A and B are shown apart, each in its own frame.
Chain A
């Protein structure tokens, strides 16, 4: 199976990296990959119930977290872009803030894609952030085929390379 226009949702975790590898493997030569990175909305609640700090500390924390997320996303996008360039694929990256599934559905609806590729949640016992992708929202909202790539930690990583 090959696709010309792929929407890839990934954020640098092992599961997402497996999705990146699959997307590169499935993209036709000269094809296009749109890389979607979603900053989940749980970050809005990350000040939690802090009541002791003053506004200056909150502002500093907010700016720091925003800057840190940006640095991590830029570094990740540069890696994916370099791989796309090496393979001669057209690449662009889009950043969204919100619920990952909602953002993915919105981007998929507004662009012309043949395939959407995502990683799967980490298996139990494998370290990593909890997946925020809601499969039901994707199933109901997507109008293009969706490929969910197995996590490399699942089944001893037998299917870690789709190429």
Chain B
């Protein structure tokens, strides 16, 4: 079968991107960009639209006019049009829809104390809007035939994003977050799997339904249900109920979690830990983290460590459920096929996690950020590095708001020396910013002190930009795979049990995070 369509769609997308490149680079759109306050994104617009415009035109011409035969090249080429379609939607959302929503929201004014606007409270940024745009496209307009194959490569974008994220952790962060995530995920995964099985036995659901539902609700949502369904031999109705329920829950959580996080004044680490633990579906964890903190990646870094921990639990839980299912069925006198444990572990092991570890290891060697880049920052006492008198007054006026001794001492040290003194000092001051205890003005001063001593290496800075695009691309594409038809299947016992256990998991993980997770690591 030949997959590549002889269709002008890819060529048209390429031409649109090139026309856009021309319009932006010649300054034709300067007025519009100024109104939308996106002039800062102009270099990115020029670069991306030129590169992908050329790719679209060249490959589009070949696809439309060339001859195609069955084979590897044809298969991979058939995915390009869909990938470019997702990218075009992600560009429109990031460069136009997001700024428009922000402008409208700012015009309406703050909706809650602390000068929070609608778009901030509901996390209406390019990530969430991208997912929503994807969902609207698939459910209202349908994905065009020529784009069907390519929509699936959004998974590649997300996995590449997670792999690249590996470059942004320090060993300390990874160890601390890793320990925290193993404890929290271990407790909540095992707890929710056990609770689903217990409730299932009380409500007399079948073993297969208990198995597929507990994997979905307990581990990482649809991914776990997909992995577990064949192993526990779930019936079609049970699969439809479970996946429908998880999709509904995931979408609700993605919108609800950032709102609650902002209302409770949670910091980045607290929110990342909560989203990574409490949201049933792993795709929405990244979405909620980026909705909570659209202009930074601290929350995403925490949430993704929790996501990776969940994924690493997946083969273990699937194996456990497989053995549990075989034993339960055997006890009931039903003959079922024995489980091939090595195959389950090998097949379900998430290989992209190895890529994440490799990038972290490479980053640790300093290959992306040479040592001299950081040299002497903390010892530079030139005037440009010091805080000004008005900055110090802003901080002094709010120093009484701090409760923790280490934070009080860190602020006093900053007021005395007018600059950040060490990495640990900087970390504590960042913790104050993340906790949201001080006003926006005070946090701006603390960020200024941080920027005076901390500069991201060029490569790391580039990785951050790529990450934003990879996650925007991946999540917009995943939005195109969330169909209302699948969500409408939510029902039956999975809706009852999944609803109870999912809500309990979200609420209890919130309590645990608020009580035990601190805003510094």
Contact = CB atoms under 8 A, between A and B. Distances in A.
Interface stretch (B16-24, B33-41, B59-67, B239-247): B239-247
A41 B282 CA distance: 25
Interface in A11-65: 40-54, 56-58, 60-61, 63-65
Interface in B204-240: 220-223, 226-227, 229-230, 233-237, 239-240
Interface residues of A, number: 31
Nearest to A12: B237
A61 B229 contact: yes
A52 B311 contact: yes
A51 B483 contact: no
A129 B221 CA distance: 20
B155 to A, nearest CB: 4
Nearest to A13: B237
A48 B489 CA distance: 12
B351 A47 contact: no
A49 B283 contact: yes
A125 B478 CA distance: 32
Interface in B253-299: 281-284
Contact of A49 (B159, B281, B488): B281
A57 B347 contact: yes
Contacts of B154: 51
A163 interface: no
A45 B479 CA distance: 11
B243 A51 contact: no
B488 A130 contact: yes
Nearest to B351: A54
Contacts of A128: 491-492
A129 B240 contact: yes
Interface residues of B, number: 47
A139 interface: no
Nearest to B353: A52
Contact of B486 (A45, A51, A61, A64): A45
B488 A60 contact: no
Contact of B314 (A41, A52, A58): A52
B178 interface: no
B158 A50 contact: no
Given A52-B282, A72-B235, A130 B489 contact: yes
Contacts of B481: 45, 47-49
B120 interface: no
A127 interface: yes
A143 interface: no
A77 B310 CA distance: 41
A44 B237 CA distance: 14
B348 interface: yes
Contacts of B493: 127
Contacts of B90: none
Given A42-B486, A69-B236, A130-B491, A51 B223 contact: yes
A68 interface: yes
Given A41-B485, A51-B154, A61 B226 contact: yes
Contact of A46 (B239, B282, B283, B348): B239
Contacts of A52: 220, 223, 282, 311, 314, 350
Nearest to A68: B236
Most central of B155, B221, B250, B479 by chain A CB within 10 Å: B155
A151 B223 CA distance: 35
Contact of B226 (A58, A68, A69): A58
B474 interface: yes
Contacts of A46: 239-240, 243, 486
A48 B486 contact: yes
Interface in B305-357: 311, 314, 347-348, 350-351
Given A57-B348, A64-B229, A65-B239, A48 B482 contact: yes
A42 B483 CA distance: 8
23 contacts: A41-B485, A42-B488, A45-B481, A46-B239, A46-B243, A46-B486, A49-B222, A49-B250, A49-B482, A50-B283, A51-B223, A52-B220, A52-B314, A53-B348, A54-B347, A61-B226, A61-B230, A63-B230, A64-B229, A65-B229, A68-B234, A68-B236, A69-B236
The 8 closest A-B pairs by CB, nearest first: A45-B483, A42-B485, A64-B230, A52-B223, A48-B222, A45-B486, A49-B478, A49-B283
